Structure 1
């Protein structure tokens, strides 16, 4: 597995979405969805037809500004993953930790249901 960095691949983003079930929180998946939408918009602005010089300028500006937003969203996701303890010191997802969290969540759910 490659190290997760603030510039996420599509595979890494999918892996982050899958974490939502383990940590009982939809924030990672929601953040990934926002990042994907920002990326789509940036790609759109980069490839939007520009017949007039003014249109070219505004689209270049939009693409640049959207790149800033994309980088910020990536950094937010990365820091979220760090704060949740889901990355090791090399910035990689920690599968063992995810398995432990899933196990603890299952035990908690079992206990709260009154099974002993």
Structure 2
């Protein structure tokens, strides 16, 4: 009789670390995998800085000026550290975001903004 072994897979990328204070200080929390955070104020009493890392150069971080993926947005491809999220999008604070290990097109982002629905396989926070 052959024994089967269970294989545990772990989502590693992208890795998003958020901080409650500017300059990567204060409380922090790290998320892995594709996800969307509807309201940054609900985490750690507010998010003021972040680090986004992936081995995929097409990994996408989308920052929105309003909660629930609404308002103006800014797209970042590849790794990025942001020391201060205040006034980051045309003079407005970042209120929600999407972290993806794949390239999200502008059409996909506009559809998410219109519907508030993330693609299949994304966690909603």
Relative to total residues, which structure has the larger helix share, 1 or 2? 1
TM-score by length of 2: 0.22
Higher Rg: 1
Relative to total residues, which structure has the larger strand share, 1 or 2? 2
TM-score by length of 1: 0.23
Q: Relative contact order (C-alpha < 8 Å, sep 6+): which is higher? A: 1
